[in-house]
Amino acid sequence: MHEWAFKTSIAEHRKLYYVSFGQTALLYFDIDLHNAWQTEEQGQEAMRIIEALLCDWFGRSVLFWIKSTRGFNGYLKVDRQWMSPKTANALFARLQHAVELFLAYRNILADFEIKGTFGFMENGEYQWGNYGKLPIHDRDWSFPKLHEFAEKPTVQAKTPLRTDREEDTTGRS
């Protein structure tokens, strides 16, 4: 992205969209309340539950949160390690599905998506990731917010262990 795009976005409170590229993904946890029956309290509870889950997993707060016009947005910096972008995106899709199921189990009716996934080349064609939205358009964006965002740690992507149901391709029993 070019400097002029950031300056224009900040000055005019315009949104900047992105897909992740390179070694690190900036995942965008989008909690939306599109429908009249979805309350702000449910959005706040979804944010609290997701924050608690990731704090338990990583041992500290790793998400940067801002309020959006229809809910809440969280940002997670993820180093994909040795994974291909395609494998990392599949892992992010599994995470999204697990969080959706957990929210449903807790009777939280807010919509949830993970965006900002990797875009990459495959067989000569570009594979687009899901677009994320940078937080700089928010009216509360400031240098202290930028510092808070920058201070959040980057977490390491890890694939889950093979389950007993998955086929053992190593030839071992």
Nearest to 66 by CA among 132, 122, 161: 132
Residue of higher predicted confidence among 169 and 40: 40
* Helix (H/G/I), strand (E/B), else coil: 131: coil
The whole-angstrom separation of Cα 28 and Cα 112 is 10
The whole-angstrom separation of Cα 92 and Cα 168 is 23
The whole-angstrom separation of Cα 5 and Cα 12 is 10
The C-alpha R_g of the chain, in whole angstroms, comes to 17
Residue 170: pLDDT above 50?
A: no
The mean pLDDT value of the chain amounts to 86
- Which residues lie below 8 Å from residue 158, measured CB to CB, with a gap of 6+? 81
pLDDT band at 160 (very low <50, low <70, confident <90, very high): low
Residue of higher predicted confidence among 66 and 5: 66
Residue of higher predicted confidence among 148 and 10: 148
Indicate yes or no: pTM above 0.75: yes
Convert the pLDDT of each residue in 106-157 to its tens digit.
999 999 999 999 999 999 999 999 999 988 877 777 888 888 999 999 999 9
Please list, residue by residue across 60-95, b when 16 or more beta carbons sit within 10 angstroms of its beta carbon and e when fewer do.
eebbbbbebeebbbbbbbbebeebebeebbebbeeb
Residue 164: pLDDT above 50?
A: no
